[in-house]
Structure 1
């Protein structure tokens, strides 16, 4: 049923993954406070702090695409409430997509940190932490879907 708690969790997964595409994921400021490196879901930008203009931009659209795929999978899984096993399978695939996205973000930020300023670590910001929120919500949705499936099977056994 669409009014179950897992529907709320799956909707929150979609919102979290949209937040990943909307907000910065990782930032690092040069020690002399002249340049900043910002990783978003769409690009890795080197920004001059004084003028706020982008000096160099490297596209990494794959992070944005993976985040949108995860949001779309969550919304599609939300509509599959009549087939709980399919819904759990879609959520499992969505977990894998989110883990791959997270791994690519960590790898990209590590590579950017090594080339920009290896002595200082950058900071992960809202876009990065939204992925963890989405992963937790996805796990909770799966837990409640599994709970509903076990309840239906126990009622079928009584008949």
Structure 2
């Protein structure tokens, strides 16, 4: 399980989705206070759901097809989270709530990169198993 490269990529995606959200703020409000993902329930739930999907994907390492599907769903979830952040930062009028964007808004992009790399490695493993089955 840990000897596969996709497990490392998925662990990094878990670290980004569940660990770095407590370190980097999503934005700074007009009062100058940092707003973390824990303060915004919807963003926090989506980050934790992404981390949970990555963890489940690691634990079902014997079923590569389901692992690949969960990876794609996780990528879609992170794109949706990124879209929510862009929507929040562009539609709030007059800088009422979001004064300055933080690096936490870009965490879904980093997570997407690791998930794409993991899916690529899963697909490579699946193709290898299929080629060996053809020889039998």
Name the TM tier (shorter chain). 0.7 to 0.9
Q: Offset at 1:64?
A: 0.2
Relative contact order: is structure 1 or structure 2 higher (C-alpha 8 Å, sep ≥ 6)? 2
Q: Which runs of 5+ in 2 are unaligned?
A: none
Higher helix share: 2
Structure (1 or 2) with the larger CA radius of gyration:
1
- Pairwise CA distance, 1:95: 0.6
More strand by percentage: 1
Please list the CA deviations of residues 81-113 of structure 1 after superposition, one character each: whole Å capped at 9, or x if unmatched.
Answer: 10000000010111111111111111122234x
Q: Kindly indicate whether residue 22 of structure 2 is the aligned counterpart of residue 40 of structure 1.
A: no
Q: CA 1:67/1:61 → structure 2, altered by over 3 Å: closer, same or farther?
A: same
Structure 1 residue aligned with 2:56: 76
Structure 1 match to 2:131: 154
TM-score by length of 2: 0.87
What is the alpha-carbon distance in structure 2 between the residues aligned to residue 150 and residue 69 of structure 1? 29
Q: Moved runs in structure 1, 4+ residues, more than 6 A? A: none
**How many residue pairs align between the two structures?**
135
1:141 aligns with 2:121: no
Q: TM-score, normalised by structure 1?
A: 0.75
Structure 1: state its 5+ residue gaps: 44-59
Give runs of aligned pairs for residues 22-101 of structure 1, distance below 5 A.
22=22, 23-27=24-28, 35-36=31-32, 38-43=34-39, 60-101=40-81
